[in-house]
């Protein structure tokens, strides 16, 4: 149980201080909303959840590496810069894979935008947009 609490504390620390983590969480909200609104099959929802988990996990590892590097080498170092760039690149690769999964799932359904604009429950997403804007840009730390 203690390791679970520690893990949750780490996730919360990233949410409080990392804008990119909050951006990813906002995207996850909308992905979940789309899965629900369009009645995705269980395997489609599982693929979307796996892709989301991959991106969130990569962002957490990126944050951990950045903090470790900053703690070990507070000044500017070419090695630290390379390590940070590699970790950010890993997040980018995971995010690109997640976008590919989303595109494939939506393509399989014959499009997305026309259905979305006709769906009355789309207001759930629109109504939440101000909250997510605040969450991403006004919540937590400066990063």
Catalytic site includes residue 59: yes
The residue with tokens 């690149």 is: 89
Catalytic residue among 18, 59, 66, 73: 59
- What does the chain come to in residues? 143
Cα distances (angstroms) measured from residue 52 to each of 26, 96, 103: 11, 11, 14
- Half-sphere exposure at residue 126, Cβ-oriented, CA atoms within 13 angstroms: 7
* Spatial distance between the Cα atoms of 55 and 43, rounded to a whole number of angstroms: 19
Which sequence positions are flagged as catalytic? Answer: 59
């Amino acid at each position: 149980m203690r390791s679970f609490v520690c893990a949750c504390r780490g996730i919360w620390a990233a949410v409080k201080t990392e804008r990119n983590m909050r951006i990813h969480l906002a995207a996850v909200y909308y992905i979940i909303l789309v899965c629900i609104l369009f009645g995705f099959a269980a395997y489609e929802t599982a693929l979307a959840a796996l892709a989301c988990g991959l991106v969130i996990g990569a962002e957490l590892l990126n944050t951990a590496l950045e903090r470790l590097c900053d703690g070990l080498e507070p000044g500017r170092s070419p090695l630290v810069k390379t390590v940070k760039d590699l970790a950010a690149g890993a997040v980018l690769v995971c995010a690109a894979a997640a976008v590919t999964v989303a595109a494939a799932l939506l393509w399989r359904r014959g499009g997305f935008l026309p259905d979305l604009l006709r769906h009355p429950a789309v207001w759930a997403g629109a109504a939440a947009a101000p909250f997510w804007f605040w969450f991403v840009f006004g919540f937590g730390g400066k990063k």
